[in-house]
């Protein structure tokens, strides 16, 4: 039980930071909501609550969104990010690439909770 509390507690705090950083995003209402939902499920995970259908829906939608936004050239995008040395969005493609990996992160973080939900 302690592992769940530490794991989901850490991710609750990280998703809180991700939510905060979305306030200067071109579409903050969408991403604040998405990271807010991830925070709620991390809070549930900390308490040992794993709702099967909602978790499945969130993980599947995040994976579908990541596939939809998946960048053509990941290496090129990473090179651009390193070259500019800050987190400002220079192109729409950079924003979509970041959104892809945000959705993948949510899906991966919530996967242990989804496993526990289906295992019960």
Structure tokens at 26: 């071109």
Closest by alpha carbon to 39, among 61, 60, 58?
A: 58
Rounded distance, CA 102 to CA 96, Å? 10
Structure tokens at 25: 């995003």
Rounded distance, CA 93 to CA 120, Å? 41
- Annotated domain spans of the chain: 2-119
Confidence at residue 35, expressed as pLDDT on a 0 to 100 scale: 96
Structure tokens at 53: 């259908």
Structure tokens at 75: 């290496």
Query: Per-residue pLDDT tens for 20-45?
Result: 988 887 788 999 999 999 999 999 99
> What single-letter DSSP state applies at residue 22?
G
Say which residue the tokens 């995970």 belong to. Answer: 45
Q: Mean pLDDT throughout 76-88?
A: 62
**Global pTM?**
0.84
């Amino acid at each position: 039980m302690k592992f769940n509390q530490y794991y989901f507690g850490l991710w609750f705090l990280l998703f809180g930071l991700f939510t905060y950083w979305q306030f200067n995003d071109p579409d903050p209402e969408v991403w604040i909501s998405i990271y807010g939902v991830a925070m709620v499920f991390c809070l549930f995970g900390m308490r040992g609550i794993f709702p099967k259908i909602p978790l499945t829906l969130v993980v599947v939608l995040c994976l579908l969104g990541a596939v939809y936004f998946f960048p053509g050239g990941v290496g090129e995008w990473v090179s651009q990010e390193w070259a500019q040395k800050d987190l400002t969005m220079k192109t729409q493609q950079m924003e979509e690439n970041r959104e892809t990996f945000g959705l993948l992160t949510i899906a991966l973080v919530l996967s242990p909770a989804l496993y526990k939900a289906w295992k019960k």
